[in-house]
Amino acid sequence: MKVVKTVSELRAALAAPASSTGFVPTMGALHEGHASLIRRSVCENGRTVASVYLNPTQFNSAEDLEKYPVSPAADAALLEGLGVDVLFAPDYGEMYPEGYRYRVIENGFSGLLCGASRPGHFEGVLTVVMKLLNLVRPDRAYFGEKDWQQYRLIEGMKEAFFMDVEIVPCPIVREPSGLAMSSRNRRLTPDELSLAPALYRELSSGRTVEEIRKNLEGAGFAVDYLEEREGRLFAAAFLGKVRLIDNVPR
């Protein structure tokens, strides 16, 4: 695996011909959910590029960014073991030479669900994903369905800007308890970790939204949103300081 940190090194690494390129953008702190995206890309493409970049522009809270888990050595070892060809691990200066003066803004769906409680979040996500796609120019890019809203917004951006890439959604990977895998799970205390699977259990229980909200609040969650749309039930809820999200078909 070639590890590159600058845009010019990335361009040089990608100059070698490949039958097709798959791309998996990440913010690091990798888990089995990320591994599933990588495996799929390796299986479907001649070459797989992954990025590890903790993108500050998508964090609306300095504390959340500060506390976001990082594990660069373990991440690189995992990616190498899965057969990634190129790992792009840039810093802020490489990704935002213009200082975040240019941004991708969506004026509808991005204001709902996660966007309602995290102002500016999707602006940061869409901007960095546009930059990464322009740099890597993959045939396919892979995104997890845990961040369903993110996936839909990226798909919409691709359509709106006539981008020549296939956006591939991949199913949520869960712990045996049902808890959706997330880098943020690492920040849960042992007590919170034992409560956390209740989120998925409630979402998939078939109960009404009101009952689910009551049960989650009774179990110690602070519910941020619980909403049905697009034939899915979406939730974000805090356990202590950690915000968990999940969604299920309904």
Q: Which residues bind ligand PAF (CB under 6 A)?
A: 25-27, 55, 58, 125, 128-129, 147, 150
Task: Give CA torsion, residues 70, 30, 111, 232, to 10 deg.
Answer: -150
Please state the closest distance from residue 53 (CB atom) to ligand PAF, in A: 6
Give CA–CA dist 237/199, Å, rounded.
8
88, 16, 2, 9: which is closest to 53 by C-alpha? 88
Q: Output 128 or 236, the one with its CB closest to ligand PAF.
A: 128
Angle (nearest 5°) at CA 240 between 197 and 236: 55
Closest distance to ligand PAF from the beta carbon of 51 (Å): 7
List the one residue out of 192, 193, 223 whose CA is nearest residue 209.
Answer: 223
* Minimum gap (Å) between residue 102 Cβ and ligand PAF: 16
Nearer to ligand PAF, 97 or 176 (CB): 97
Tell the smallest beta-carbon distance from residue 243 to ligand PAF (Å): 14
Residue 68 to residue 199: CA distance in whole angstroms: 21
Other CB atoms within a 10 A radius of the CB of residue 107 amount to 6
Q: Count the Cβ atoms, other than its own, within 10 Å of residue 86.
A: 23
Looking at this protein, which amino acid is placed at residue 192? Answer: E
Which residues fall within 8 angstroms of residue 250, CB to CB, at 6 or more apart?
Answer: 228, 231, 232, 233
For the bound state, the minimum distance from the C-beta of residue 163 to ligand PAF, rounded and expressed in Å, comes to 15
Which one, 10 or 128, has the nearer CB to ligand PAF?
A: 128
Q: Which residues are catalytic?
A: 34
